[in-house]
Amino acid sequence: MKFLDQAKVYIRSGDGGGGSVSFLREKFVEFGGPNGGNGGRGGDVVAECVDGLNTLIDYRYQQHFRASTGTHGMGKNRTGANGADVVLRVPVGTQIFEEDRETLIADLTEVGQRVVLLSGGNGGFGNAHFKTSSNQAPRHANPGQPGIEKAIWLRLKLIADAGLVGQPNAGKSTFLAAVSAAKPKIADYPFTTLHPNLGVVKIGERDFVLADIPGLIEGAHEGIGIGDRFLGHIERCNVLVHLIDGTQEDIKGAYKAIRNELFLYDELLAEKPELVVLNKIDALPEDEVKEKLKTLKRISKAPVFGVSAATHQGLDAVLYAIIDVIDRNKAEREEEARRAIQPNWAP
């Protein structure tokens, strides 16, 4: 299945059905008069968050969605049927924006969430609705209200507990393949990963979801390389795992380049908890590994680990550190929620 994380969709709600102009004219019926029914309501356009999807690829092949029109009213006071709704099925983590791509309409983060994007037009009143003592035979009815039409943008932000960031060929895909059952493409040239990958990591009796995004280079926020469009997939992560290729000379410059790109993309993303991981230590002398770990510790002020994703050396320590950060963040959120609902009164 191809990966698609954003799509433009055109939607239109259904028109309301028109009211009916009808009169009861029947032999031997004592009370005749107007009996035109109301029109049915037009269908809504609804977005629903469903399980089992992880891409917006369906919206590459169909971009136009239109709800059904309500049925017109009929004689004998028969109200028209409502139009059928059209449902956009989207994966967990989908954000829906207006056409300007800035105004957020909805953020669907849980399976079963539904949001009405456009409401259908109301059905028109039939002539029976206008019957009064002074107007006993009205000969007019209302037309149904027209539906609403607009374009929206769907943007998928994958929901993962931890996200891998780093330059191309830092070993992110190898790391993901080593700690999970995911099988990302791995090769010895830059930009092997062209779209995000997810893997479920199991360590001890715990598990969490790890996201791997394409490599970043200096100037990614300006569109250089693959750019920074995939950084949205790690905005929801609890912790960033910053992988650095230990075989390169300037690890200080590599670290600062990625941190700068994160900051230019979103300051909140740059403020997330970070674990710095020096990869490929199996290809370095022991004294050089110690020196580079010391350098990273000094400039990052964050926990630093030395690993070899190829030989699985040092991976468990990183995974347990990720679990610790996830648990700590969860405890902080629960504490904030408890304070929010606690009555604010003085004893």
The reply to whether 132 sits in an annotated binding site is no
Task: Say which amino acid occupies 46.
Answer: V
The reply to whether 214 sits in an annotated binding site is yes
The reply to whether 191 sits in an annotated binding site is yes
Closest CA to 328 of 158, 109, 211, 161: 161
The reply to whether 310 sits in an annotated binding site is yes
C-alpha to C-alpha distance for 163 and 170, rounded to whole angstroms: 14
H or E stretch at 328: helix 315-341
The reply to whether 33 sits in an annotated binding site is no
C-alpha to C-alpha distance for 1 and 219, rounded to whole angstroms: 30
- Strand arrangement, sheet containing 162-165: 197-203, 206-212, 162-165, 239-245, 274-279, 304-306
C-alpha to C-alpha distance for 126 and 129, rounded to whole angstroms: 6
The reply to whether 65 sits in an annotated binding site is no
The reply to whether 192 sits in an annotated binding site is yes
The reply to whether 13 sits in an annotated binding site is no
The reply to whether 120 sits in an annotated binding site is no
Q: Is residue 110 exposed (0-12), middle (13-18) or buried (19+ Cβ within 10 Å)?
A: exposed
The reply to whether 184 sits in an annotated binding site is no
The reply to whether 68 sits in an annotated binding site is no
The reply to whether 213 sits in an annotated binding site is yes
The reply to whether 173 sits in an annotated binding site is yes
The reply to whether 119 sits in an annotated binding site is no
**Neighbouring residues of 175: CB distance < 8 A, sequence distance ≥ 6:** 164, 212, 241, 243, 277, 279, 307, 309, 315
The reply to whether 215 sits in an annotated binding site is yes
**Neighbouring residues of 187: CB distance < 8 A, sequence distance ≥ 6:** none
Q: Is residue 113 exposed (0-12), middle (13-18) or buried (19+ Cβ within 10 Å)?
A: middle
Binding residues for GTP: 191-195, 212-215, 279-282, 308-310
Annotated binding-site residue numbers for Mg(2+): 173, 193
Annotated binding-site ranges: 173, 191-195, 212-215, 279-282, 308-310
